[in-house]
């Protein structure tokens, strides 16, 4: 009996051993002008593959009878594709194409990595073919499938949905009962949803299956919406939908009757007392009428960002960097600073301080002093980059390096000084040396820089070193979170043209504005003081 059982186990192992490591995976979706159909995929040892047999019919492939060990030949009309088992190279019409992982043969069935579709098949087809692995879409033929990058953000009682639509696509927004439906003039949607957290206004955001419609599922707290659009880079457009809560109806309670003159407010009397009486003491957290009086800690207002200083780098005789066609850094930075000021004032209602409003020279220390004296809560300095490599391209965001301060300075902290006060007496004031002003803000500067780099990266090209630390003098004296943004390489002829164009500048401003909103929302949501240090004192983002 034991021997028979052993034989049976061996047979099972032999039958299943060839497919060991294979598991089903989410299918791709093939979109054509006529229909949508699934393309099943599997995983072998963590690699996502598709069976060649699944590709034959939709892409017109013929699997030939030319059988050779470890080799498979496919044909489409007169074009030949040759696969080799366990090889990451495939021959397509005489051209070698590298794939992300090798082709596999299992029990006579052949599998290829999904990038075979976008890299190899596209070379033998006469119609457009595109693989979008992030959304799992395969687009065949003249189909219109815009990519929609959605970000949902909460600001106070209202919410905002931002949609970056590439390429620009006609759309209609309508409210249908408890939904907002955004219908695009397209065959399908390639939706990328970032940071979606349900709240009192929105329960969910999703693409409707089989249709180019984005559905925003609303909650009972939703009241109304408004929408605006603005152009972006690469033929894209940004759709901004502001969602307002339902108005809250309030009723005023009738005041308690005033006790007769001479009466004392004792037990059972309300909080109001008559003439000649002491008002009843209110203890934080006690009941007042039918309501609970908030604790004192709840009455403290959260820290807010109310003002931002924008520094347009260079100016006057200091022209900064110069492009091959003569564009000047000082002109680009001033134009972007003015655009950013207008957007912040009109959309956020914050106070904006410009370190210069015209072509004038301002010293580096004076720029930080202007921000300090005008009580700005944030400081951003705008510049353009240059390189001896003409091909260098992309924006970069910097915050001050802790290496700017020695260990002794970091350990010394801030000292106090005794100063006289009006009416006699004295008090101790913190004395912050100019060179140390940014020290207490470096951790928040890092968080703001990260938010700016992330948002810029969605709208304009970024350098491979998109977020960095550096000892910029202009940041040293800023007594608030501060960053430097290099808008791009003006030494690159193509980017010089971009930096001087209104469309590119608007895209930059949109990224800077969203970085500001994201950082502001994080800080105000956490109600952290802007000079809070990281727990280990390192200045790194927690």
Domain with CATH 3.40.630.40 in the chain: 307-526
The answer to whether 537 and 410 have CB atoms below 8 angstroms apart is: yes
Cα gap 498→199, rounded to integer Å? 39
Cα gap 202→215, rounded to integer Å? 11
Query: What is the predicted pLDDT for the residue at 435?
Result: 55
Which positions ≥6 away from 433 have C-beta within 8 Å? Answer: none
Domain with CATH 3.30.457.10 in the chain: 20-140
124 to 81, 91, 304: CA distances (angstroms)? 9, 11, 59
Cα gap 30→34, rounded to integer Å? 11
Cα gap 455→448, rounded to integer Å? 11
The answer to whether 81 and 143 have CB atoms below 8 angstroms apart is: no
Which positions ≥6 away from 131 have C-beta within 8 Å? Answer: 28, 114, 115, 117, 118, 137, 138, 139
Structure tokens at 28: 């791709």
Tell me which H or E stretch contains 116: helix 115-119
Query: What is the predicted pLDDT for the residue at 436?
Result: 59
Query: What is the predicted pLDDT for the residue at 541?
Result: 39
Short-list 395, 363, 391, CA closest to 462? 395
Residues (pLDDT < 50) of the chain are 1-2, 5-19, 250-256, 258-302, 404-423, 426-434, 528-542
Q: CATH fold of 307-526, please? A: Aminopeptidase (3.40.630)
SS3 52: helix
Q: CATH homologous superfamily of domain 20-140?
A: Copper amine oxidase-like, N-terminal domain (3.30.457.10)
168 to 25, 51, 149, 163, 235: CA distances (angstroms)? 32, 35, 12, 11, 6
Place of tokens 């590298």: 98
Short-list 316, 317, 307, 326, CA closest to 356? 316
With vertex at residue 538, the alpha carbon angle to CA 536 and CA 542, rounded to the nearest 5 degrees, is 70
Q: CATH fold of 147-245, please? A: Immunoglobulin-like (2.60.40)
Domain with CATH 2.60.40.3500 in the chain: 147-245
Query: What is the predicted pLDDT for the residue at 360?
Result: 94
DSSP string, 264-302: ---TT--S---TTSPPPP--TT-EETTEEPPPHHHHSPP
pTM for this model (two decimals) = 0.51
Cα first-last separation, the chain: 63
């Amino acid at each position: 009996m034991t021997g028979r059982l052993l034989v049976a186990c061996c047979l099972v192992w032999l039958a299943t051993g060839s497919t060991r490591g294979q598991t089903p995976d989410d299918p791709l979706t093939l979109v054509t002008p006529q229909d949508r159909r699934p393309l099943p995929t599997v995983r072998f040892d963590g690699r996502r593959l598709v069976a060649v047999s699944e590709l034959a019919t939709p892409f017109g492939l013929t699997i030939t009878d030319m059988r050779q060990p470890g080799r498979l030949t496919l044909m489409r009309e007169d074009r030949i594709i040759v696969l080799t088992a366990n090889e990451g190279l495939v021959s397509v019409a005489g051209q070698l194409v590298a794939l992300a992982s090798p082709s596999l043969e299992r029990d006579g069935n052949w599998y290829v990595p999904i990038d075979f579709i976008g890299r190899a098949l596209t070379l033998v087809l006469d119609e457009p073919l595109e693989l979008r692995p992030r959304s799992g879409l395969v687009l065949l033929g003249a189909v219109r499938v815009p990519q929609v990058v959605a970000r949902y953000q909460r600001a106070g009682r209202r919410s905002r949905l931002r949609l970056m639509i590439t390429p620009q696509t006609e759309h209609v927004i309508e409210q249908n009962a408890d939904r907002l439906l955004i219908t695009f003039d397209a065959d399908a949607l390639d939706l990328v949803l970032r940071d979606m957290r349900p709240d009192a206004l929105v329960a969910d955001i999703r693409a409707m299956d089989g249709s180019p419609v984005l559905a925003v599922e609303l909650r009972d707290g939703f009241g109304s919406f408004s929408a605006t659009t603005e152009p972006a880079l690469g033929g894209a457009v940004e759709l901004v939908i502001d969602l307002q809560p339902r108005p809250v109806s309030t009723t005023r309670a009738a005041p308690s009757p005033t006790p007769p003159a001479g009466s004392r407010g004792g037990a059972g009397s309300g909080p109001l007392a008559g003439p000649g009486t002491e008002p009843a003491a209110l203890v934080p957290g006690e009941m007042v009428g039918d309501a609970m009086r908030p604790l004192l800690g709840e009455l403290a207002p959260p820290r807010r960002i109310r003002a931002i200083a924008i520094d347009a780098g260079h100016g006057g005789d200091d022209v900064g960097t110069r492009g091959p066609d003569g564009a000047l850094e000082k002109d680009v930075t001033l134009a972007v600073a003015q655009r950013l000021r207008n957007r912040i004032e009109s959309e956020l209602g914050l106070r904006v301080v410009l370190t210069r409003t015209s072509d004038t020279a301002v010293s580096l220390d004076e720029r930080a002093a202007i921000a300090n004296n005008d009580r700005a809560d944030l400081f951003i300095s705008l510049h353009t980059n240059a390189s001896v490599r003409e091909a260098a391209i992309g924006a970069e965001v910097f915050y001050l390096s802790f290496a700017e301060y020695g260990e002794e300075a970091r350990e010394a902290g801030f000292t106090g000084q005794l100063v006289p006060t009006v009416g006699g007496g004295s008090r101790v004031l913190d004395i912050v040396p100019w060179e140390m002003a940014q020290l207490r803000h470096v951790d928040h500067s890092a968080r703001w820089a990260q938010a700016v780099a992330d948002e810029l990266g969605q709208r304009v090209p970024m350098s491979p070193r998109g977020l960095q630390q550096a000892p910029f003098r202009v940041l040293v004296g800023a007594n608030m979170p501060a960053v430097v943004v290099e808008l791009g390489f003006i030494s690159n002829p193509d980017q010089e043209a971009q930096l001087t164009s209104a469309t590119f500048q608007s895209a930059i401003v949109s990224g800077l504005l969203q970085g500001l909103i994201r950082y502001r929302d994080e800080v105000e949501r956490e109600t952290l003081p802007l000079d809070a240090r990281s727990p280990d004192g390192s200045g790194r983002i927690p």
